[in-house]
Amino acid sequence: MNRRGRFSISGTVRDAASHRGMDDIKVDLRAVGGQTLATVITNTSGGFVFNNVRPDDYVLAIEEDGYEPVSQQVTVDNSIFGLELSVRRPDAPAGSPVATVSTRELSVPRKAHDFMQKGMSLLYEKADARGSIDQFQRAIKEYPDYYEAYAQMGTAYTTLGDTADAEQSLHKSIDLSNQHYADAYLMLATLYSGGKRFADAEAAARKGSELDANSWQGHYELARALYGLSRDAEAEPHVLAAEQLQPDRAEIRLLGTNIHVRLRKYPLVLEDVSAYLRLDPNGPTSDQMRHLRDQVQQALEKAQAPAGDASQSTAGRQRADSK
């Protein structure tokens, strides 16, 4: 084993049933003895990367609520590219998670893949969107058909507020993938909704959802677009589907709250608000959500009060006023 130098371990976490990339999944790099040495969170495409890894034997581990534990031993004597870790729900078809390298990833030149991973590290770990664009452009120069790099570049431009270049990059990603890359459509839907182009967002979200029916992002973006179009009854089943697929996302519960307020389904408003506050108790809208909860609770209690109690209360107030 080459004991000199430091290397990278990069790959993707996917759902074993749908094969979609899983975002916001914690991946641990552990010593063979069990000690956790580093932890990263997967990006919107399920990608992860560990940098500056010394040559040795390691274990990649995932212990995510709602999924079976995953562990994969790796030997680092050079950089590792294209690793896939599959996570499986306990009720999914039998079969143990394994690490594989997809045909698509094998087609990407190593140098291009390396630039891609550097770009994703800058974008998601170091919040350096501008620096990431340079790395994505280098990846594309090495591999012009790298539609995943175009999509990530679109996200970087979106972060910088450059909607024109973001839209152009995402459309390029879609074209290069022959209209088969769901993530690019969903990123485009996010961009359109952010610009209040809700009709365009609906079309992009529907296409992304068709390509990946088990994507919580697909249901969320479609619900968001329909809410923006004031089609709340159509939006509701999609936000509920997003909640089922990803119950620990505060933004889904916030959208569900807004939809159920418009639909006047106040018991569901309370459920959404309670879930949101559990997930993000100190978020930017938490105080507003607490105020909404109190208002809804008071309104429901008033509506449920017996008519006699209401009349007695009114009479009591009248007597008190007459004194």
Q: Which residue has the higher pLDDT, 20 or 24?
A: 24
Do the domain assignments include residue 310? Answer: no
Predicted local confidence at residue 52, as pLDDT: 82
Q: Do residues 113 and 99 both lie within one domain?
A: no
Given a cut of 50, whether residue 95 has pLDDT beyond it is no
Q: What is the mean pLDDT of residues 7-30?
A: 84
Alpha-carbon distance 176 to 182, whole Å? Answer: 12
Alpha-carbon distance 136 to 242, whole Å? Answer: 30
**Backbone region of residue 31 per phi and psi (left: phi > 0; alpha: psi in -120 to 50; beta: other values):** beta
Residue 2 confidence class, pLDDT cut points 50, 70, 90: very low
CA dist 280 to 41, 44, 102, 272, 290, Å?
18, 20, 36, 12, 12
Do the domain assignments include residue 172? Answer: no
Those residues with Cβ within 8 angstroms of residue 30's Cβ, 6 or more apart along the chain or in another chain: 36, 37, 58, 59, 60, 61
Q: Do residues 82 and 135 both lie within one domain?
A: no
Number of domains in the chain: 4
Q: Do residues 125 and 100 both lie within one domain?
A: no
For the segment 127-137, what is each residue's pLDDT rounded down to a tens digit?
899 999 999 99
Predicted local confidence at residue 311, as pLDDT: 45
Predicted local confidence at residue 306, as pLDDT: 72
Q: Do residues 149 and 226 both lie within one domain?
A: no
For the segment 272-310, what is each residue's pLDDT rounded down to a tens digit?
999 999 999 998 999 999 999 999 999 998 888 775 554
- The DSSP bridge partners found for residue 71 are 61
- The identity of residue 198, as a single letter, is F
Domain residues for the domain of 293 are: 261-304
Q: Do residues 23 and 112 both lie within one domain?
A: no
Do the domain assignments include residue 75? Answer: yes
Alpha-carbon distance 298 to 125, whole Å? Answer: 43
Do the domain assignments include residue 318? Answer: no
Beta-strand ranges (E) seen in 56-201 are 56-62, 70-76, 80-87, 99-100
- The DSSP bridge partners found for residue 87 are 15
Cβ distance 14 to 22 under 8 Å? yes
With vertex at residue 309, the alpha carbon angle to CA 303 and CA 312, rounded to the nearest 5 degrees, is 135
Q: Do residues 191 and 132 both lie within one domain?
A: no
Alpha-carbon distance 56 to 11, whole Å? Answer: 18
